[in-house]
Structures are given as structure tokens and as C-alpha cells.
Structure 1
């Protein structure tokens, strides 16, 4: 089985999280983006 590539949402959330970790700014926004990306990554028919 091949590994799945991260979605655009996941990539954007990861970049936002990295920026927040580096600068200390935008932590809440990056947390929300990460949560949204994680929810979108869950398959429709179970885990």
C-alpha cells in the first residue's frame, strides 16, 4: 500500500504551525487550521 500525500490543507496548516512555533504569533489560527485539516483527512467511511 502506498503512502498518502498530505493535502493542500495539511501542508498549509503545517506551514502555519511552523511559523507560529518560530515566531509565537498566530498560534490560535494555526491550531484551527490543523484541526480542520485533520478532520478533512479522516475517510468518510470510518477510520
Structure 2
């Protein structure tokens, strides 16, 4: 992320992914949120 703060979408996705990893539930949804957040970050951060 080149030193920039994560967006709200990335924070939400990260939290969902963490919960899914711990509980084993909603892994697909968490993965989808993470993917969307990653794609949204590309133009914002110029990756």
C-alpha cells in the first residue's frame, strides 16, 4: 500500500476476513469483500 492508510472498504474487508479465518464461516463472502477492496484500491493508489 506504499505507506498510505487503508480505505474504509479495505478495513471492512480485512475485519470480515479475520472473522472468517477465526470462525470458518462466511469465507466466500469475506474473500469477495477483500477482492473488491483490492480492486478499488488499484486506481486510488496507482498500483
TM > 0.5 fold call? yes
CA root-mean-square deviation: 1.7
When normalised by structure 2's length, the TM-score is 0.86
Per residue, is there more helix in 1 or in 2? 2
Instruction: Extract structure 1 runs of 4+ deviating beyond 3 A.
Output: none
Structure whose CA Rg is larger: 1
Q: Give the paired residue count.
A: 45
TM-score, structure 1 as length reference? 0.86
For structure 1, the 5+ residue unaligned runs are: none
Unaligned runs of 5+ in 2: none
